[in-house]
Amino acid sequence: MSHTVNSPSSPPRPQGMLFVACDLDPAADERDFNRWYDREHVEERVRIPGFLSGARYFSLEGGRKYLGLYLTRSLDAFTSDAYRAAFQRQTPWSVANLDRMRDPMRRVCAVTAQTGMGSGSHLAVLPLAASDDALQAQAQALGAALAEIDGFVHAYLLTPDASLSTPLPRESPENRRLDPIFVIEAGTEAAARALRARARETLGARAADAWLMALGWKLNAADLR
Which residues are CB-contacts of 94 (< 8 A; sequence separation ≥ 6)?
36, 40, 41
pTM of full prediction above 0.85: yes
Q: Report DSSP state, residue 87.
A: H
pLDDT above 60: residue 5:
no
Instruction: Give the mean model confidence (pLDDT) for residues 157-176.
Output: 89
Longest Cα–Cα distance in the chain: 57
pLDDT of 13: 84
pLDDT band of residue 91 (cuts 50, 70, 90) is very high
pLDDT above 80: residue 36:
yes
- pLDDT, one tens digit per residue, over 95-154 is 999 999 999 999 999 999 999 999 999 999 999 987 777 999 999 999 999 999 999 999
Average pLDDT of the chain, as a whole number: 92
- Give the DSSP per-residue string, 129-156: S---TTHHHHHHHHHHHHTTSTTEEEEE
Domains of the chain by start residue, with CATH: 15-220 (3.30.70.100)
- pLDDT, one tens digit per residue, over 79-89 is 999 999 988 88
